[in-house]
């Protein structure tokens, strides 16, 4: 599933379709395969398919990743997300790209990791999304 704000912003459509894989192009404004955002397209796909998803891999804006993560949790499908965190130095020194992950082995219940070094891909169920309590 690839999401765009509008059909006019869609790119590489021909190339994606030539891959021979199921491809769903979604657009907030319509005009593509699905009228709506990526989480809505994912929900529709999972509801309409007989194929059981083995895993979900997602990248994009944080709000979308959080929604996709929630869908995976409800449907018991593992989700891996690639975070688009700002990386100040890119080598782990500044810790500007820190992400909090659930870690029951820590007294605090979480650990802070550097997206540039330990990521940027993480299991979604381990991420403490902003505005969630640690």
Judge whether 12 lies within some domain. yes
Q: Please, which pLDDT band fits residue 133 given cuts at 50, 70 and 90?
A: low
Judge whether 46 lies within some domain. yes
Nearest 5°: CA angle at 104, between 98 and 106? Answer: 65
* pLDDT value at residue 20: 82
Judge whether 90 lies within some domain. no
Domain that holds residue 47: 2-85+120-125
Judge whether 33 lies within some domain. yes
pLDDT in tens, 51-92: 776 899 999 999 999 999 999 999 999 999 999 888 888 888
Q: Are 68 and 124 in contact (CB under 8 A)?
A: yes
pLDDT, averaged across the chain: 91
Q: Which tokens go with 125? A: 């169920």
pLDDT in tens, 20-59: 888 999 999 999 999 999 999 999 999 987 777 689 999 9
Q: Are 114 and 90 in contact (CB under 8 A)?
A: no
Q: How far apart are CA 36 and CA 19, in angstroms?
A: 23
Domain count, the chain: 1
Q: Are 109 and 100 in contact (CB under 8 A)?
A: no
Residue of 54, 115, 58 whose CA lies nearest to 82: 58
pLDDT in tens, 105-129: 889 999 999 999 999 999 999 999 9
* pLDDT value at residue 50: 76
Which pTM does this prediction carry?
Answer: 0.85
Judge whether 36 lies within some domain. yes
Q: How far apart are CA 97 and CA 85, in angstroms?
A: 6
Q: Which tokens go with 63? A: 């709000």
């Amino acid at each position: 599933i690839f999401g765009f704000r509008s059909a006019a912003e869609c790119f590489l459509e021909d190339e994606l379709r030539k891959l021979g894989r199921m491809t769903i192009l979604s657009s907030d404004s319509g005009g593509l395969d699905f009228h709506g955002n990526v989480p809505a397209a994912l929900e529709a796909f999972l509801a309409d398919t007989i194929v059981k998803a083995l895993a979900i891999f997602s990248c994009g804006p944080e709000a979308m990743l959080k929604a996709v993560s929630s869908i995976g949790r409800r449907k018991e499908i593992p989700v891996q997300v690639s975070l688009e965190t700002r990386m100040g130095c890119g080598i782990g020194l500044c810790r500007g790209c820190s992400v909090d992950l659930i870690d029951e082995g820590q007294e605090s219940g979480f650990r802070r990791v550097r997206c540039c070094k330990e990521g940027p891909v993480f299991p979604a169920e381990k991420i403490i999304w902003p505005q969630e309590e640690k």
